[in-house]
């Protein structure tokens, strides 16, 4: 593990700030030490914002199984001239998780389970305040509850809590620090969690107890998956009937068919200049992530015995579209290209 050296002028500046803060502090500081695990497309930007917005007396430990990602982020943080917390590069998830608050942002349920297995195996020492684990990954609520139960049994008597805080806003929102978090946590923890999330986003929606954030996120993304296909179909239909796609979109957007895919992320190139469709479907919300979220929603629906009449067909549509080279790796609105054959 290596503690990064600060530039001399930065160190003096930080010391002054720390002294000033201590002088004005009326109660002991909490949540000073963080770990951020999973520095991919989202986590990298979130950790960068968190570190930049924390006080100089705070500390962030960084870990990703991809050493290159950790080193790149540490170098970027080091190059910042002023402000921000101190930071350390950790050698393992367990090593990073020594302190009070651990944030994870990992791809799929198996990655979340394996990271927490290794953290909990390390037999975490007692801390002055209960440990808090905030998982921002999009996984299924059952897997999340499993991990929460493992944390509760490894850290009994309220010594640790695991909460879910999946997010929306994509890489653009993660970079700008404007994410929306859907929080699943006991009411009593919300005030402790919110300030941390608001350093990486602009909104925290408390959805209910642990697991509820993921349920809300998956229900929303299920709706989005269907609306996107339906918009692509309706637009394709209109174009085949000879309608100008901009005229059709204007009609839909003041009528009952209006939705985010018709208004903001219209799948037909040229209809909305800022939409991924107008730049060859580059950027945006990747079709692979949409498939993943749809799969998780279907799994969670099965467990709740909820009928999703359109899910199998939608899943097939995304699978077939993604299998085509001209659609792979692009924004999920690329289903229009697949449908229209263009
Ligand atoms: P990503 O694949 O870019 O990054 C995941 C990172 O986790 C990688 O750097 C990987 O090396 C690391 N990792 C994997 N297993 C690990 C382990 N055991 N310990 C430490 N690090 C490990 O994924 P992403 O796009 O950053 O997404 C992260 C989560 O956020 C996913 O669940 C995704 O569904 C969700 N999400 C993504 C977006 C988006 O637009 N990318 C938007 C909303 C939500």
Whether residue 283 has its Cβ less than 6 Å from ligand 1: no
Per the domain annotation, does 20 fall within a domain? no
- Percent of the chain past pLDDT 90, that is, above it, reads 82
- Percent of the chain past pLDDT 70, that is, above it, reads 90
Q: pLDDT for 115-168, tens place per residue?
A: 999 999 987 777 778 999 999 999 999 999 999 999 999 998 889 999 999 999
151 and 277 fall within a common domain: no
pLDDT score of 1 = 36
174 and 277 fall within a common domain: no
pLDDT score of 127 = 78
Average pLDDT over residues 275-295: 96
**Domain region containing 266:** 216-340
Domain C-terminal end among 209, 229, 262: 209
Going by their DSSP bridges, the two strands 2-3 and 33-37 should be labelled as: unpaired
pLDDT score of 122 = 87
The residue contributing the CA closest to ligand 1 atom 1 is 40
Per the domain annotation, does 6 fall within a domain? no
Average pLDDT over residues 284-310: 97
Q: Specify whether the CB–CB gap between 85 and 59 falls below 8 A.
A: yes
Closest residue by Cα to residue 63 from 110, 23, 104: 104
51 and 200 fall within a common domain: yes
Please give the tally of structural domains in the chain. Answer: 2
Per the domain annotation, does 178 fall within a domain? yes
Confidence of residue 81 (pLDDT cuts 50, 70, 90): low
SS (H, E, C) 25-64: CCCCCCCCEEEEECCCHHHHHHHHHHHHHCCCCCEEEEEC
**Arithmetic mean of pLDDT over the chain:** 90
Domain C-terminal end among 187, 209, 231: 209
Q: Specify whether the CB–CB gap between 196 and 103 falls below 8 A.
A: yes
Q: Would you name the residues annotated as active-site residues?
A: 217
Whether residue 294 has its Cβ less than 6 Å from ligand 1: no
Whether residue 106 has its Cβ less than 6 Å from ligand 1: yes
147 and 223 fall within a common domain: no
State which of 39, 45, 64 you would mutate to test the pocket of ligand 1, scoring each by most atoms of that ligand within 8 A of its C-beta.
Answer: 64
Q: pLDDT for 182-238, tens place per residue?
A: 999 999 999 999 999 999 999 999 999 999 999 999 999 999 999 999 999 999 999
Give the Å distance between the CA of 235 and the centre of ligand 1: 33
CATH number at residue 232: 1.10.1040.10
Give the Å distance between the CA of 102 and the centre of ligand 1: 15
305 and 333 fall within a common domain: yes
pLDDT score of 13 = 43
State which of 120, 147, 217, 289 you would mutate to test the pocket of ligand 1, scoring each by most atoms of that ligand within 8 A of its C-beta.
Answer: 289
293 and 148 fall within a common domain: no
Per the domain annotation, does 323 fall within a domain? yes
Give the Å distance between the CA of 326 and the centre of ligand 1: 24
Per the domain annotation, does 4 fall within a domain? no
Residue 30 clears pLDDT 60, i.e. is over it: no
CA pair distance 112, 47, nearest whole angstrom: 17
Q: pLDDT for 177-188, tens place per residue?
A: 999 999 999 999
CA pair distance 109, 113, nearest whole angstrom: 6
134 and 278 fall within a common domain: no
Q: Specify whether the CB–CB gap between 163 and 189 falls below 8 A.
A: yes
Q: Which long-range contacts (CB under 8 A, 24 or more apart) does 290-294 make?
A: 290/221, 290/224, 290/225, 290/228, 290/318, 290/332, 291/315, 291/318, 291/319, 291/322, 292/108, 292/138, 293/138, 293/217, 293/218, 293/221, 293/222, 293/225, 294/221, 294/222, 294/225, 294/318
Tokens of 71: 């080193």
The residue contributing the CA closest to ligand 1 atom 18 is 115
Per the domain annotation, does 11 fall within a domain? no
Give the Å distance between the CA of 150 and the centre of ligand 1: 21
Per the domain annotation, does 15 fall within a domain? no
Average pLDDT over residues 34-53: 96
Domain C-terminal end among 209, 227, 251: 209
Please report the atom of ligand 1 found closest to the CA of residue 166: 44
State which of 37, 41, 71, 287 you would mutate to test the pocket of ligand 1, scoring each by most atoms of that ligand within 8 A of its C-beta.
Answer: 41
Q: Specify whether the CB–CB gap between 35 and 50 falls below 8 A.
A: no
Q: Specify whether the CB–CB gap between 264 and 172 falls below 8 A.
A: no
Whether residue 105 has its Cβ less than 6 Å from ligand 1: yes
Per the domain annotation, does 275 fall within a domain? yes
Residue 274 clears pLDDT 70, i.e. is over it: yes
Burial 104-134 (b: 16+ CB within 10 A, else e): bbbbebebbbebbeebbeeebeeeeeebbbb
136 and 247 fall within a common domain: no
pLDDT score of 99 = 81
**Can you give the C-alpha Rg of the chain in angstroms?**
22
Q: Is 175 exposed, middle or buried (0-12, 13-18, 19+ CB in 10 A)?
A: middle
Tokens of 134: 């905030």
H-state helical runs in the chain: 8-24, 41-53, 67-79, 93-96, 109-121, 141-154, 170-176, 187-197, 212-240, 245-252, 260-263, 287-303, 311-323, 335-340
Please report the atom of ligand 1 found closest to the CA of residue 138: 32
Q: In terms of pLDDT, which residue wins out, 341 or 11?
A: 341
Residue 3 clears pLDDT 60, i.e. is over it: no
CATH number at residue 52: 3.40.50.720
Residue 29 clears pLDDT 80, i.e. is over it: no
Whether residue 66 has its Cβ less than 6 Å from ligand 1: yes
Residue 10 clears pLDDT 70, i.e. is over it: no
278 and 151 fall within a common domain: no
280 and 194 fall within a common domain: no
pTM value?
Answer: 0.89
Whether residue 38 has its Cβ less than 6 Å from ligand 1: yes
Residue 89 clears pLDDT 50, i.e. is over it: yes
Closest residue by Cα to residue 246 from 221, 263, 259, 229: 263
DSSP type of residue 230: H
334 and 319 fall within a common domain: yes
Contacts of 3 (CB under 8 A, 6+ apart): 86, 88
244 and 181 fall within a common domain: no
Give the Å distance between the CA of 132 and the centre of ligand 1: 20
């Amino acid at each position: 593990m290596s503690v990064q050296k600060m530039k001399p002028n930065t160190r003096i500046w930080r010391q002054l700030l720390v002294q000033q803060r201590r002088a004005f502090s009326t109660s002991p500081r909490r949540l000073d030490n963080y770990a951020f695990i999973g520095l991919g497309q989202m986590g990298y930007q979130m950790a960068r914002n968190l570190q930049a917005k924390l006080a100089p007396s705070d500390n962030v430990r960084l870990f990703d199984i991809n050493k290159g990602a950790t080193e790149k982020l540490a170098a970027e943080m080091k190059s910042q001239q002023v402000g921000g917390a101190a930071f350390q590069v950790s050698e393992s998830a367990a090593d990073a998780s020594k302190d009070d608050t651990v944030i994870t942002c990992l791809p799929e349920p198996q990655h979340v389970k394996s990271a927490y297995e290794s953290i909990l195996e390390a037999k975490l020492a007692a801390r002055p305040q209960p440990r808090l684990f905030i998982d921002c990954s999009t996984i299924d609520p059952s897997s999340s509850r499993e991990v929460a139960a493992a944390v509760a049994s490894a850290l009994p008597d309220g010594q640790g809590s695991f909460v879910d805080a999946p997010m929306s806003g994509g890489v653009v929102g993660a970079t700008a620090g404007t994410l929306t978090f859907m929080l699943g946590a006991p009411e009593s923890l919300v005030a402790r969690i919110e300030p941390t999330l608001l350093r990486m986003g602009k909104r925290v929606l408390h959805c209910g107890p642990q697991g509820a954030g993921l349920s809300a996120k998956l229900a929303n993304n299920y709706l989005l998956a269907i609306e996107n296909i339906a918009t692509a179909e309706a637009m394709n239909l209109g174009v085949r009937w000879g309608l100008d796609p901009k005229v059709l979109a204007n009609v839909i957007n003041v009528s009952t068919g209006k939705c985010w895919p018709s208004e903001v992320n219209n799948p037909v190139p040229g209809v909305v200049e800022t939409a991924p469709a107008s730049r060859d479907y580059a950027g945006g919300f990747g079709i692979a992530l949409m498939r993943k979220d749809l799969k998780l929603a279907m799994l969670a629906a099965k467990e709740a015995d909820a009928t999703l009449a359109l899910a199998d067909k939608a899943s097939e549509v995304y699978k077939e579209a993604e299998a085509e080279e001209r659609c792979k790796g692009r924004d999920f609105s690329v289903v229009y290209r697949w449908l229209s054959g263009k």
